[in-house]
């Protein structure tokens, strides 16, 4: 069984910092094809400095941790993805509230609210070839799998849905962000933000394994 306490979410953030660092070159290459070749650099810098800042911070609840993490990302990452991922984490933190241990259903509500906040901030929807194409199916898969499968299975389903959703951006034409400037020429490329969102959701699943 999974305990959704502050340690769980610290593992999530630490693993995210590790994986976006390990995959920074690949993310930047994806962004070179349809953007401005900075996505990996942006996330590597933002998540690494966030993990460093949080290691020293006296935060006790998942809500406090994610709220602080989101604020840090918004302040340190330039580009579209900083405010968008900042919003994801802050929104999750707000929904998780002041409980020391989150309920699995509350995590589901937090994921759904986080996706809604990205869609609102970015004026984006599934099919626009953005991170929403990974995050929306992940939130939906978590909610669908939780009742029968429990937290770990639901997080595994969410991670799988995010990876499939990211892959499914390849044939799409971008309608938001820098890639949209390319019009038809954005077709045939994986969206970098969808790829990084799949890494985040996989890190959330892997946080179940301490
Ligand atoms: P920038 O495009 O400013 O250089 P990044 O390269 O860090 O920022 O991030 C680009 C990613 O951000 C895109 O691949 C896309 O997934 C996401 N993105 C950009 N604009 C939007 C938007 N309006 N709504 C949702 N996601 C967006
Ligand atoms: Mg970019
Ligand atoms: Mg940029």
The 3-class secondary structure across 76-134, one letter per residue, is HCCCCHHHHHHHHHHHHHHHHCCCCEECHHHHHHHHHHHHHHHHHHHCCCCCCCCCHHH
Above 90 in pLDDT, residue 105?
yes
- The band of 78, judged by pLDDT with boundaries at 50, 70 and 90, is confident
Q: How far is the CA of 35 from the centre of ligand 2 (A)?
A: 5
Smallest CA separation from ligand 1 atom 25, residue? 122
Choosing from 114, 116, 131 the residue with most ligand 1 atoms within 8 A of its CB, the one to mutate for a pocket test is 131
CB under 8 Å to 152, separation ≥6 — which residues?
Answer: 1, 2, 205, 208
- Which residues on adjacent β-strands are paired with residue 101? 5
| HSE-CB for 206 with a 13 A CA cutoff | 15
Is the confidence at residue 122, as pLDDT, over 90?
yes
d(CA 131, CA 27): 13
Does the beta carbon of 208 sit less than 6 angstroms from any atom of ligand 1?
no
Evaluate if residue 69 carries a pLDDT over 90: yes
Q: What was the pLDDT predicted at 127? A: 98
Distance 186 CA to ligand 2 centre (A): 14
The radius of gyration of the chain from alpha carbons, rounded to an integer in Å, stands at: 16
Question: Is residue 119 in contact with ligand 1, taking CB distance under 6 Å?
Answer: no
Judge whether residue 47 has pLDDT over 90. Answer: yes
Q: Which domains does the chain show, CATH number per domain? A: 4-206 (1.25.40.340)
Closest-lying ligand 1 atom to the alpha carbon of residue 42: 7
Kindly report the protein residue whose alpha carbon is nearest to atom 11 of ligand 1.
Answer: 193
Local confidence band at 1 (pLDDT 50, 70, 90 cut-offs): confident
Q: State what percent of residues in the chain have pLDDT above 70.
A: 100
Give the mean model confidence (pLDDT) for residues 99-105.
Answer: 98
Question: Which residue, 69, 59, 61, 75, is CA-closest to 91?
Answer: 69
Residue 60 — pLDDT band, cuts 50, 70, 90?
very high
d(CA 188, CA 182): 12
Q: Is the pTM of this model over 0.95?
A: yes
Task: Give the pLDDT of residue 210.
Answer: 82
Pairwise CA distance, residues 122 & 138, whole Å: 18
């Amino acid at each position: 069984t999974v305990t959704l306490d502050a340690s769980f979410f610290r593992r999530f953030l630490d693993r995210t910092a590790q994986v976006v660092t390990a995959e920074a070159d690949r993310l930047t290459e994806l962004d070179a094809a349809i953007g401005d070749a900075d996505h990996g650099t942006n996330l590597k810098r933002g998540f690494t400095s966030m993990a460093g800042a949080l290691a020293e911070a006296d935060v006790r609840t998942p809500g406090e941790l994610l709220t602080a993490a989101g604020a840090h990302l918004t302040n340190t990452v330039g580009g579209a993805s900083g405010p968008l991922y900042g919003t994801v984490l802050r929104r999750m933190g707000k929904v998780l509230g002041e409980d020391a241990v989150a309920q699995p259903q509350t995590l589901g509500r937090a994921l759904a609210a986080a996706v809604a906040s990205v869609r609102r901030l970015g004026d984006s929807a599934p099919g626009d070839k953005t991170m929403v194409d990974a995050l929306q199916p992940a939130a939906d898969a978590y909610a669908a799998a939780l009742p029968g499968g429990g937290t770990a299975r639901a997080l595994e389903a969410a991670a799988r849905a995010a990876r499939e959703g990211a892959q499914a951006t390849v044939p799409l034409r971008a309608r938001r962000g820098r890639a949209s400037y390319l019009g038809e020429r954005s077709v045939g490329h994986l969206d970098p933000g969808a790829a990084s969102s799949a890494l985040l959701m996989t890190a959330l699943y892997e946080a179940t394994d301490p």
